[in-house]
Amino acid sequence: MRETILEKLNEIEQEHELKILFAVESGSRAWGFPSKDSDYDVRFVYVKKPEWYLSIDDKRDVVEVPINDLLDINGWDIRKALKLFRKSNPPLQEWLVSDIVYHDSLGFRDELIMLREEVFSPKASLHHYLSMAKGNFRDYLHGDQVKIKKYFYVLRPILACIWIEKYNANPPIGFERLVSELVTDSSLKDKISELLRRKMAGDELDLEPRIDMLHHFIEEQIERLTVVTSQCTNDLLDPTDKLDEVFRKYLQKAWSGPRKENEDE
């Protein structure tokens, strides 16, 4: 599958006249709880030719290429990415530290990784993850019969919030690390581990009776974290000037000559 993904990324570069700065896996595969039939969610950041940015009109700053049910590829223009990075956008923060890297050139990803704590906003990140947890809990886990695999999509953002609260830092991308370091109740940890084993083994994990132990933990934490998030404040310096420099640097590097750093064949 990796070769197919690299071929598609190369096709995107040619068709859209852009250069991809990095491309990674996101979603359940990056988080560490894929099913056997999980699709591939490839996300990338790209840069267009300098003249593309010299226009009196705004232009579309995303590339979306849903290939099929197994492969979904889309990316953001570098300016869009840096604007969102300035706001501590959690999905982009996760892309930067994904363990599944398909393409990484010119050092852009490494540079943002070095800057990510400077732009980290606990308030924005807490709001993002808590909203995700609440939405998934509301949509999938109400009633006596629930979509059992959706527990992961509520537990992970809740644990991300707890990490932010505890360490005032970006949470790790891996679900198992969050569970290992943050879940202290051995019975709760065993129940989560059992579900994770079933999901990765290919069990259907569709409608099943709700798991009261998980429900109690989720409801308790959502209530508590709602208060924590409401009391959180931001106190960050404006990184715009520095990010402007990053934009200009990689616009020049991408189009000044052949790539030399970490180039994929």
**205 in Cβ contact with 198 (< 8 Å):** yes
* 55 and 97 housed in the same domain: yes
Band the pLDDT of 109: cuts 50, 70, 90.
Answer: very high
Q: What's the angle, vertex CA 170, arms to CA 166 and CA 171, rounded to 5?
A: 70
* 91 and 14 housed in the same domain: yes
* 244 and 227 housed in the same domain: no
Q: Is the pLDDT of residue 256 over 90?
A: no
Residue pLDDT, tens place only, 47-84: 999 999 999 998 999 999 877 878 999 999 999 999 99
In a domain, 263, yes or no: no
- Structural domain containing residue 82: 2-120+237-255
* 201 and 188 housed in the same domain: yes
Q: What is residue 257's predicted lDDT score, i.e. its pLDDT?
A: 62
Q: What is residue 3's predicted lDDT score, i.e. its pLDDT?
A: 93
**178 in Cβ contact with 172 (< 8 Å):** yes
In a domain, 260, yes or no: no
Residue pLDDT, tens place only, 159-199: 999 999 999 999 999 999 999 999 999 999 999 999 999 88
* 7 and 80 housed in the same domain: yes
Residue pLDDT, tens place only, 215-225: 999 999 999 99
- pTM here is 0.90
Cβ neighbours of residue 185 closer than 8 Å, sequence gap 6 or more: 217
* 96 and 206 housed in the same domain: no
- The domain total for the chain is 2
Hey, what are 195's tokens? 């579900």
